[in-house]
Chains A and B, each alone.
Chain A
Amino acid sequence: MSTNTGMVEKYRNNFLKEVEANVEEGEWVKMCMQCGVCAGSCPLGSHWAHPPQEIFMMIRAGKRDEVLTSDSMWMCTSCYNCIVRCPRELPITHIMHGLANYAKRLGLTPKSQPTAWFSQVFWDNMMKKGRVNELKLGLSLYFKDGLVSGIKESIKHQKLGMNMMKAKRMSIAELFGGHGVKDISDLQKIIKKAEEIENARIESYGK
């Protein structure tokens, strides 16, 4: 049984409880008073199919599939405008990150959602050496749809790259090794342990 099916079984008809138990800062969802200040404050507000206050009401109404398969929470730019303006001080940014992470964990994220893709690439890039390799991160963006479009994209952005190199704010040396922590295996051990602890907790809820 997949974790997703396990969660559906366990929390049948109570998506709010599922969110409270498994989503970062999820216990705050019930505190939303539906004022809509978050929606009005979001810099990408017009691009959300369901702005935060709507997402909160949908969670309470048990609209599990609609929420978890939505690309709304992937529109969060982490500007924290909603957090500082929310009259009830809900940590909205974190709840959006939490919902995005949870949906991705369950395999429900819409296919080819660009920020979902990018956040994983960023994480993997960073975990290789313990520090972000900006050059490789940029290249993975250009080459995300394959070699041919990658070359096209690279040519399109050639001037930008040249500008950055000239200003010494991008370095070809990053392709060959580049910056990193001294003992990456130590860092990877730490993070692996953290992942094990977290996964065990979430999977135990689904059982």
Chain B
Amino acid sequence: MAKYEYSYYPGCSSQKGASSSNLSRSVETMCEELDVKLNVIPDWNCCSASIGYGGGGVLPRMTLSARNIALSEKHNVGQDIVATCAACWLATKEAQERFDHDGDLMADTNKALAEAGLKLENKTKIRHMVEVLIEDIGYEQIGSGVKRPLEGLKVAGYVGCQTNRPFGIDGESFENPMYLDKLVDTLGGESIKTYEKKVQCCGGALAFSEPVKSQEMIHGIIESAYDNGADVIATPCPLCQANVEIYQDEINAKYGSKFNMPVVYYSQLIDVAYGRNAKDASLDGQIIKAKKLEDIAGK
């Protein structure tokens, strides 16, 4: 039996052939190494992220999350729900809080769920994978499994918005969360404490609808990483990762910059530090190759 076991909510972008399939592959590797078993919530649905509000009112949106929690309570009894996507985590946790505070909302969502014979108890803890790493496993234990320290790798820890606000990680500040830096240091890398854009918004879903405004912010996020001497940006958030990585060509064309900054996930850093190869760490999923990290993985 695995040492840790959770009910897993992977989310749309984590699926095969989707934009953060590299996150889910690297998380699988990481969980193998850390002896974590993830039981996918059977037949989970989209949470509608933080952009569904134009199409869905409060009750329909909250009910999307209610269905996921109810399915988890039915099939993965007694297991905390763990999400790897910031928006999935936020939407589910937010829905749970609202059901807790608003009995009418809870009653209404259960009326809707009854249409498919489901019932929400709302007793399940909703957690982010980062919380599992920090609270359940801990830096010390993570550090003890490092086989290939990320020596000389300068990492700009880009926490972003929704892994950090409004819930964030217990004991961390909203303005200057340190956990990503601590994790990098634990893995033998060099965190950049002066990376001032660590909680700057990348535009989120507005990167699609308001690309000019969003790319201006993304430009700043990358520029600061260069100014701080980073080899790589690391993030826990799938939308942050995609937004900051994939538009660098467009940003270069508009701003005359020559950005070619790799953006990776914390899970990929752990995979490599634990001695796994570039493929297991899903470094083949980079659009901008993380050359230095690949070199460490190939050692």
A and B interact physically: yes
The answer to whether residues A191 and B213 also contact, given A164-B246, A167-B287, A198-B58 and a CB cut-off of 8 A, is no
Evaluate contact between A141 and B208: CB separation under 8 angstroms: yes
Residues of the B chain whose Cβ atoms lie less than 8 Å from the Cβ of A163: 246, 287
Q: Report the stretch among A3-11, A49-57, A113-121 that lies at the interface.
A: A113-121
> Would you call A118 and B51 a contact (CB within 8 A)?
yes
- Asked whether B103 is an interface residue with its Cβ less than 8 Å from the other chain, the reply is no
Q: How many Å from the CB of A202 to the closest CB on chain B?
A: 8
Flag if B57 contacts A132 (CB, 8 Å).
no
Contact partners of A83 in chain B: CB under 8 A: 165-166
Q: Judge if B29 is at the interface, Cβ distance under 8 Å.
A: no
Out of A131, A167, A183, A198, name the residue touching B59 (CB < 8 Å). Answer: A198
Q: Is the CB of A84 within 8 A of B52?
A: no
In the complex the two chains form, what is the Cα distance from A131 to B13 in whole Å? 9
Minimum CB–CB distance for A112 against chain B, Å: 11
Residue of A nearest to B287 (CB): A163
**Cβ-neighbour of B21 out of A93, A98, A100, A169 (below 8 A):** A169
Other-chain residue from A105, A134, A186, A202 in contact with B12 (beta carbon distance below 8 A): A134
Partner of B52, one of A44, A117, A126: A126
| Cα–Cα distance between A196 and B16 once the two chains are bound (Å) | 34
Chain A residues lying within 8 Å of B247, measured Cβ to Cβ, are 160
Residue A1 CB within 8 A of the other chain: no
Query: Which single member of B21, B58, B113, B200 contacts A43 (CB below 8 Å)?
Result: B200
Interface residues on A, range: 35 or more
- Please count how many residues in chain B sit with their CB below 8 Å of the partner chain's CB atoms: 64
Instruction: Report B136-193 residues with CB < 8 Å from chain A CB.
Output: 161-162, 165-166, 174
Residue of B nearest to A121 (CB): B55
Q: Which of A165-180 contact B (CB under 8 A)?
A: 166-171, 173-174, 179
> Which of B's residues lie within 8 Å of A, judged by CB?
12-13, 15-22, 43-46, 48-60, 63-64, 67, 108-109, 111-113, 115-116, 118, 161-162, 165-166, 174, 200-201, 203-206, 208-210, 213-214, 217, 242, 246-247, 249-250, 284-287
Measured CB to CB, the residues of A under 8 A from B are: 24, 43-44, 47, 75, 77-81, 83-85, 93, 97-98, 100-101, 104-105, 114-120, 122-124, 126-127, 130-132, 134, 137, 141, 159-160, 163-164, 166-171, 173-174, 179, 181-183, 186-187, 189-195, 197-199, 202
